[in-house]
Chains A and B, each alone.
Chain A
Amino acid sequence: MDRMKNIFAGSWGIIGVGVVIGILAPLLQKLGNPGNMGVCVACFERDIAGALGLHRADIVQYIRPEIIGFVLGSLVAAYLFKEFRPRLGSAPIVRFFLGVFAMIGALVFLGCPWRAALRLAGGDGNAILGLLGLVSGIWIGTLFLKGGYNLGRTQKTHTAAGWMLPLFMAGLLVLMLLFPQIAGEAKNGVLFYSLRGPGSMHAPLLISLGVGLLIGFLAQRSRFCTMGAIRDFVLFRQTHLLSGFVALIVTAWVVNFLLGQFKPGFEGQPVAHTMHLWNFLGMALSGLAFCLAGGCPGRQLFLSGEGDGDAAVFVMGMIAGAGIAHNFGLASSPAGVGPYGIPAVIIGFGVCLFIGFTMRQKIA
């Protein structure tokens, strides 16, 4: 009976959602999104930070409707299925800084776990290093989890508090409609736009938003999580979420192949560099931070949509982290890691290990 209530919670449900994302992401790329970046939560939040002027890397400035759709699609699903539960208070400031360093690690690699999967599916061999790093970082996180690490219980909160991030996303959409991109202009009203680079490449707004809403809806129902996929396998040998993540990669690989977007190799891959160690360590830092925060960047958006204020704080941490990463020269470029990227990764590991070692109170 319980299974009937949520068909997406079953094995075929999560695989189906992986397949749908695996089809839609390469199609978004075909329709204008940057290479191997049909969906990248970290990159897209970084673009949003740029569009708002939180950093001034002028090649990555665009309010990505996919991100807005992820949150609002999840919100709709949560309300339809009576799962909207406003909650908050599980060490939000810690989650903010985990978000900051998750983003810094992701921008050293140049992608979040979603993009690592899509880069692999597009033939980018550097993604192998990233995925190995992701697994390693999550593995370290599971050691903390086994040792009793936790950020404490949440509390019920006001419904309006659960609406904060969905309203922020709706506000971004309103800004996009009020100040749309004007060809050849780097700014309209309060929003910055890119004239070149990944920020200038995007699918049409309504398609991006529609795909985002659909993925947000499906992911809320299925609890799709790229970090949880690996974490649950390492911790419990459970393959439930992993089957969805693998389905995404395999499907995206097939679709890329069919669309002529599969280009195997290490050199000259879109928005990627070939510094293997830092691809590995960047994603390892990210994986550790996601594991300590309890969800991949996509899952944090979906949780925010169902009223989880702590996940919302993590999202804001990632957006702030993107600002820091580009303003301080921490983010990589196709030329390699940024001037201060390496110390930032080391500091990030220090912060995550500090959090992991010190926050292990026994749950009463």
Chain B
Amino acid sequence: MAKTIDARGLSCPQPVLMTLDGIKAGNDDELIVLVDSDASKENVSRAATSKGWTLADIREESGVYRIAIRKG
């Protein structure tokens, strides 16, 4: 089960900082990031891909984006 980072309700740059912390920790090959704004969704996606991670899946459920990112 991939680790989930809950960045709902947080404004930039917090969701990106939390995502990068998760990537930097190096414990997981897959992370789920929850955000609830389009700007945060774009920023998290951009930050993850800039670190060489890939966007595995983005889903929206009642205003919350569930972004799955994978190493490599």
What does DSSP make chain B's interface, helix, strand, loop or mixed? Answer: helix
Counting CB contacts under 8 A, is A202 at the interface? no
A236-B47, A238-B47 are contacts. A294–B12 as well, Cβ < 8 Å? yes
Q: Are B9 and A90 in contact (CB under 8 A)?
A: yes
How many Å from the CB of B48 to the closest CB on chain A?
12
Q: Are B47 and A363 in contact (CB under 8 A)?
A: no
Of chain A, the residue at the smallest CB distance from B37 is A85
Q: Are A9 and B13 in contact (CB under 8 A)?
A: no
Q: Which of A193-250 contact B (CB under 8 A)?
A: 223, 228, 231-232, 235-236, 238, 240
Counting CB contacts under 8 A, is B63 at the interface? yes
Q: Are A363 and B38 in contact (CB under 8 A)?
A: no
Q: Are B42 and A223 in contact (CB under 8 A)?
A: yes
The number of chain B residues with a CB under 8 A from chain A is 24
Q: Are A150 and B12 in contact (CB under 8 A)?
A: no
How many Å from the CB of A359 to the closest CB on chain B?
12
Q: Are B42 and A85 in contact (CB under 8 A)?
A: no
Q: Are A87 and B9 in contact (CB under 8 A)?
A: yes
Q: Are B13 and A232 in contact (CB under 8 A)?
A: yes
Q: Which of B1-28 contact A (CB under 8 A)?
A: 8-14, 16-18, 20
List chain B residues, Cβ under 8 A from A153.
8-10
How many Å from the CB of B55 to the closest CB on chain A?
8
Counting CB contacts under 8 A, is A2 at the interface? yes
A2-B58, A236-B47 are contacts. A223–B39 as well, Cβ < 8 Å? yes
A83-B38, A85-B63 are contacts. A2–B45 as well, Cβ < 8 Å? yes
Q: Which of A92-151 contact B (CB under 8 A)?
A: 145-146, 150
With contacts defined as CB atoms under 8 Å apart, how many contacts are there between chain A and chain B in the complex? 57
Contact with A along B24-57 (1 / 0, CB 8 A): 0000000000001111001101110010000100
List chain A residues, Cβ under 8 A from B9.
87, 90, 153-155
The number of chain A residues with a CB under 8 A from chain B is 28
Q: Which of A54-86 contact B (CB under 8 A)?
A: 81, 83, 85
Q: Are B14 and A9 in contact (CB under 8 A)?
A: no
A153-B10, A154-B9 are contacts. A240–B46 as well, Cβ < 8 Å? yes
Counting CB contacts under 8 A, is A6 at the interface? yes
Q: Are B20 and A236 in contact (CB under 8 A)?
A: yes
Cβ-neighbour of B12 out of A2, A85, A228 (below 8 A): A228
List chain A residues, Cβ under 8 A from B63.
85, 156
In the bound complex, how far is the Cα of B39 from the Cα of A170, in angstroms? 25
How many Å from the CB of B24 to the closest CB on chain A?
12
In the bound complex, how far is the Cα of B25 from the Cα of A153, in angstroms? 23
Of chain B, the residue at the smallest CB distance from A364 is B6
Q: Are A90 and B36 in contact (CB under 8 A)?
A: no
In the bound complex, how far is the Cα of B39 from the Cα of A87, in angstroms? 14
In the bound complex, how far is the Cα of B47 from the Cα of A331, in angstroms? 39
In the bound complex, how far is the Cα of B12 from the Cα of A308, in angstroms? 13
In the bound complex, how far is the Cα of B63 from the Cα of A151, in angstroms? 21
Q: Are A238 and B12 in contact (CB under 8 A)?
A: no
Of chain A, the residue at the smallest CB distance from B63 is A85
In the bound complex, how far is the Cα of B14 from the Cα of A156, in angstroms? 18
List chain A residues, Cβ under 8 A from B12.
228, 294
Leading 3 A-B pairs by shortest Cβ distance? A153-B9, A154-B9, A294-B11
Residues on B lying within 8 angstroms of A by beta carbon are 8-14, 16-18, 20, 36-39, 42-43, 45-47, 50, 55, 58, 63
7 CB < 8 A contacts A-B: A2-B55, A6-B38, A150-B14, A153-B8, A236-B16, A236-B50, A238-B46
9 additional A-B pairs beyond A9-B42, A81-B38, A232-B13, beta carbons within 8 Å, are A2-B45, A2-B58, A153-B10, A223-B43, A236-B20, A238-B46, A295-B11, A310-B11, A363-B10
